[in-house]
Amino acid sequence: MRQKEQSRMIEVLIRARYPILYVVSWEEPRVTEMLIEIGKRGQKKVFEWSCSGGIVPAGTHVQAVKMRDAGTKDPLVALNQVTEELEPAIYIFKDFHPFLAKSNFSVIRKLRDISQNLKSSYKTLVLISPFLQIPPELEKDLTVIDFNLPDIEELGILLDRVCEEVKDNPKIKIDLDASGREQILKAALGLTLAEAENVFAKALVTGGKLDSDDIGEIFAEKRQIIRKTGLLDYCEPELEFDDIGGLASLKQWLVRRKLAFTDNAQAFGLPAPRGVLLLGVQGCGKSLCAKAVSSIWQLPLLRFDVGKMFCSLVGSSEDNIRRAISVAESIAPCILWVDEIDKAFGNLSSGSTDSGTSQRVLGTFLTWLGEKTSPVFVVATANNIKILPPELMRKGRFDEIFFVDLPDIKERHAIFDIHLRQRDRDPEKFNLEKLAASSEGFSGAEIEQAIISALFDAFYAKRELSDDDIMQALVETVPLYRTMEEEIEGLRDWCLTRARSASVHQETIATQARRHLELE
Ligand SMILES: Nc1ncnc2c1ncn2[C@@H]1O[C@H](COP(=O)(O)OP(=O)(O)O)[C@@H](O)[C@H]1O
Ligand SMILES: [Mg+2]
C-alpha cells in the first residue's frame, strides 16, 4: 500500500471512531506528522504523550518545558485526561508497550474503559511503538496497523529537500536526470526516512556530489542497514540456471513466470505469483534454485534467516517476522527466500514450550502469504517434511510445491559437467557417462565434494585430474542415500501425491494422474 493510501485508511478509521489504533513502526516522527495532517483536515487537536514529557500538543519541541504538564507523565493520569477532554482530538501515545505488560492490570483495565468512552466521542487514541505487544484482554479493543516504510514518492520529497539544503554549497555538485533519480530512490527503498536521509547525506558528503554513480554506494549502505536488523540478508545475484544441473521442470516453471510482475502481464490478466515451496533431499539444489530465480527474474533477493527469528536477541519473534515482511514489501518487487523453513516451524508438533510463539509467528506468515497483494515472491525450502505444519501446504499459500529428488543419471551427467567447468576442467576430457553411472544415489552436493576430493588427490600426487581420481573418490564416499534410504524413500512417497516433481523424468503420466486423483 502506498503512503497516501495508508494515510487515507487511517483517516477513515479515525473518522469511523475506531477508539484505539496501535501503529507498529520505528518512525515516530513520520507517523506523528501524518496524524497532525489528519488532525488538521478533521479539525481536531493533536496531542502526544511520552513517559518523559507527559501530554503536550503534537509537534511541540521537547525543550518547551512550560508546555509540559508533569502530572500526566503517569500513564493512568494521562489516560484520565484523555477521557476528560471534551473537544475532538487525536492522542498519540509513544512507546506505550511497556505499560501493556501483564502486571499493569490497572492500565489495561483503564484502556478497556476508555475504549468504550471513545467510541461515543470524537477522540482517538493512537499508540505508536516499534513492537507489537497486546495483552489478550485488549485484543478486541485495538486495531493494529503495520505502518509501511516510505514509498518512492516520500523518498523523493526527502531527496529534494536534502538537495535543496546543499544547493548553495559550491563544494557539492548534484547531477541527476530523471532516471538517475529514480534509480537512487529505488536503491533506498526498504529504509526508514531517517536512514534514507543519512544515506543520502553520506553519499553527498563523501563524494561531494550526487549522481547515478552513487547508486552502488546507496545499495551497499542499505545492505548494511538491512543486515543490522539481523533477519534479512541482501544477496547478490550470482547464479544462472546454467549453473544448476537437471531440475528442468522447476526451471521451466520459473522461466515462464519471469515477466509475471510486469504491467504487461497484469494487463494480460495474469495474477502475480505468490511463491513456491521446494521440498526434498538435502544437497540437491534447492537453495541453488532460490538464488538463481533472483538473477533470472532480475529482482533483488532477500534471504530470511528463520533460525534467528526465534533468537530473542533480535527482538520478539512476532516483531521479527513483521519487520522482515515490511522490509520485503517496501523493496518489492523482490524475492523473499525463506531457507529451511522446516527449522523454524518444525517444533510445532513436538509440543515444546515455545510452540505457542511459533504458532503465532506461523499464523502471521501464512496470513500474509495468503492475503499479500505486494509483488513479493516467496521461495521457501525444506528438507524435513515430517515436521512441517500441514497449514503450510494448504491451497492458496504457494502457487506450487515442488519435490527436488536425487538427480537421475542424465542430471548427474549435467552436474559433473557443471562442476568440472567451474574448476576450469574441460568436461570433454572426462568420461561423464561412466561417472554419472557410477554415482547412483549421490546428491549434487556429494558429486561436487567427490570432484573436490579428487582434485586434492591429484594435486598431492602432482598430476592432472583424471577419471580415475573421481572414480576413486566416488567409491570412498558414502552417500547420504545409503545411510538414510528409509527416510528418503518415505519423503518420495509422501511427495508423490502432494508435490510436483522438479525434474522431468519422474513425472510420468501415471504419477500425474495419481496426484490429481488424490487432490480431488
Ligand atoms: N542440481 C545441481 N546442480 C549443480 N550443483 C548442485 C546441484 N545440487 C547441488 N549442487 C551443489 O551442492 C551444493 C549444495 O546445494 P544446495 O542447493 O545448497 O542444496 P539444498 O537442496 O540442500 O538446498 C550447491 O552449492 C552446489 O554446488
Ligand atoms: Mg539448502
50 lines ligand 1 (CB under 6 A): no
Q: What does the pLDDT read at residue 363?
A: 85
pLDDT in tens, 167-202: 888 888 888 888 888 888 888 888 899 999 998 988
Residue 429 has pLDDT above 60, yes or no: yes
Distance 309 CA to ligand 1 centre (A): 25
pLDDT for 516:
57
> What pairs with residue 143 in β-bridges?
21
Query: Does domain 152-228 fall into CATH 3.30.460?
Result: no
**Alpha-helical runs (H) found in 229-314:** 248-256, 263-267, 286-297, 306-309
Residue nearest to atom 24 of ligand 1 (CA): 445
User: Is ligand 1 within 6 A of the CB of residue 450?
Assistant: no
Are 152-228 and 235-404 equal in CATH topology?
Answer: no
Percent of the chain with pLDDT over 70: 92
* DSSP strands (E only) in 376-457: 376-382, 400-404
One-letter identity of residue 251: K
- Give residue 448 CA to ligand 1 midpoint distance, Å: 8
Task: Tell me, using a 6 A CB cutoff, whether residue 340 lines ligand 1.
Answer: no
Close Cβ partners of 471 (under 8 Å, ≥ 6 residues apart): 434, 435, 438
- The H or E element spanning position 317 is helix 317-331
What number is the average pLDDT over the span 401-425?
A: 96
Q: For residue 340, which ligand has an atom nearest its CA?
A: 2
Which residue minimizes the CA distance to atom 17 of ligand 1?
A: 285
- Please tell me the distance between residue 491's alpha carbon and the centre of ligand 1 in angstroms: 18
513 band by pLDDT with thresholds 50, 70 and 90? low
279 lines ligand 1 (CB under 6 A): no
Q: Give residue-wise pLDDT tens across range 78-135.
A: 999 998 888 999 999 999 999 988 888 899 999 999 998 899 899 999 999 988 888 8
CATH 1.10.8.60 fits 409-440+444-478, yes or no: yes
For residue 281, which atom of ligand 1 is closest to its CA? 21
- Taking the centre of ligand 2 as the mean of its atom positions, its distance from the CA of residue 285, in whole angstroms, is 7
Give the phi and the psi of residue 29 in degrees, each rounded to 5: -60, -40
Going from the Cα of 403 to the center of ligand 2, the distance in angstroms, rounded, reads: 13
Is residue 512 predicted with pLDDT exceeding 60?
no
Domain boundaries, the chain: 3-146, 152-228, 235-404, 409-440+444-478
Which pLDDT tens digit goes with each residue over 243-302? 999 999 999 999 999 888 887 888 898 888 899 999 999 999 999 999 999 888 888 899
Task: Please give the average per-residue pLDDT across 424-438, as a whole number.
Answer: 96
For residue 381, the ligand 1 atom closest to its alpha carbon is 23
Domain 3-146 part of CATH 3.40.50.300: yes
The residue among 60 and 389 whose pLDDT is bigger is 389
Residue reference for cell 553519499: 203
Please state the atom number of ligand 1 nearest to the C-alpha of residue 244: 3
Q: Which of 366-370, 422-426, 437-441 has the lowest mean pLDDT?
A: 366-370
Looking at the predicted structure, is the pLDDT value of residue 1 above 80? no
Q: What 8-state DSSP symbol labels residue 395?
A: B
515: pLDDT confidence band, cut at 50, 70 and 90? low
Give, in words, the CATH class of 235-404.
alpha beta
